[in-house]
Amino acid sequence: MRVTSNTYTNLVISSSQTEQQQLALLQNQISTGNSIQNPSDNPELYAEAAQDQTTLSQLDNYTSAANTATTLTEQNNTAMTSLHQIVAQAGEYLASVTSNMSSTDMQNLGTEMTDLVSELTSIVNQKGSDGNYLFGGTSNKAPINPTTGDYNTGTNGETTSIEVEPGNSVQTSIAAGSSGPPATDGFLYDSATGTDVLAALKQAASDLNSGNATAAQGADVTAVNNALNLVSSYVGSTAANMSAVSLATTRLSAQTTAQSNTLNNLVQTNLPAASVQLQQLESQYQASLEAGTRVMNLSILNYIGNVTTT
C-alpha cells in the first residue's frame, strides 16, 4: 500500500482533533466539577447516578413532609401543654375551697374558674396558618361555640397523618371531641369513661359562684381530676408524635447525606487526577502539533521537489 504525503497530513489533523476534544472534555469536567457530562461518557455510571438522584428526590419529599409534621405535632403538643396547665390550675382552685369559706371568696374563685373556661375555649378554637380550625376534626368548625360556650356538634373526631418515611405515618392532627349528640372522642371528651373536660370546668365555676362548697370539694374535684388525666394522656401522645417525627428527620438527614456522598463520588471530578491528566494531554497535544507541523512542512517540500519546472 502506498503511503502518500496526504496520508500523514490527514493523520496529523485527525489526531489533533481527537486531542482537542479530549482537552475540551477535561477542561469542562474541571470547570463544572462533574466527570459525567452526557450518558455516553459512561452509560453504566450515568444510569447509577440517575437512580441515586431519584432516591435523593424521594428523600427530599419525605424530608419536606417531616418538616410539615414537625410543625403540626409541636403545635398540638403546645396546645395540650397549655390545656393541661389550665385544668391543673382549676384543680388548685378547688383544692383551696374550705367549708367555712365566705361566699365572696368562693365567687372570686368562680370568676377565676370562668376565666379558665375562656382560656380553654381560646386554645381549643384556635386556627392554623391556613385559616382552618385545628381541633374540629375535618369539619373546619370551631369545637366550642363561642356564643353559647357549648360543644359544636358539627365537628367530628377525624384525624390526619403524614407519612414521614416509607411505611411510617405519624398522626399530625388531634380532635377536641364532643359530648354530642353524637358523642365524639377527643381531648375534651372520652366516651369510655364519661370524662368531659369542658363540662367539669363549667360546673365547677357554677358551684363556686353559687357558694356550693360541698359540690366544689367533692364531685367537682373528682371531675376535674378525671379531666386532668384525659388531657395528660394527650400531652403524652402528642409528645410521642413529636419524638417520632424527630427520629424520622434524623434518619432522613443521615440517609440524604449518605446518598449525596454516593452520588458525588460517582459524578464529581477527581480534580488532582484530572489536572495531571490535563497537563499530560496538553503536553502531548503540543508535541503532536510540533510533529505535525514538521510532517506537513516536509510534505510541502516533497511536493515542491516533485513539481516539474519548465
Do the beta carbons of residue 227 and residue 93 sit within 8 Å?
no
Lowest mean pLDDT among 25-39, 93-107, 139-153: 25-39
Residues 39 and 116 in one domain: no
Query: Which string of b and e fits 61-93 if b means at least 16 CB within 10 Å?
Result: ebbebbeebbebbbbbbebbebbbebbebbbeb
Residues 89 and 142 in one domain: yes
Do the beta carbons of residue 63 and residue 256 sit within 8 Å?
yes
Average pLDDT over residues 62-83: 97
Residues 256 and 295 in one domain: no
Residues 91 and 201 in one domain: yes
pLDDT reported for residue 66 = 97
Residues 139 and 91 in one domain: yes
Name the domain count of the chain. Answer: 2
DSSP 39: G
pLDDT tens across 208-261, in order?
999 999 999 999 999 999 999 999 999 999 999 999 999 999 999 999 999 888
pLDDT reported for residue 270 = 44
Residues 163 and 86 in one domain: yes
Q: What CATH number has the domain bearing residue 214?
A: 1.20.1330.10
Do the beta carbons of residue 221 and residue 91 sit within 8 Å?
yes
DSSP 169: E
Residues 282 and 248 in one domain: no
255 domain residue, yes or no: yes
Residues 88 and 14 in one domain: no
CA dihedral 192, 197, 198, 201 (to 10 degrees): 140
Residues 82 and 140 in one domain: yes
Average pLDDT over residues 153-161: 94
63 domain residue, yes or no: no
Nearest CA to 206 among 217, 215, 195? 215
Structural domain including 19 reads 5-54+269-306
pLDDT tens across 84-115, in order?
999 999 999 999 999 999 999 999 999 999 99
Residues 101 and 249 in one domain: yes
61 domain residue, yes or no: no
65 domain residue, yes or no: no
Q: What is the mean pLDDT of the chain?
A: 83
Residues 142 and 22 in one domain: no
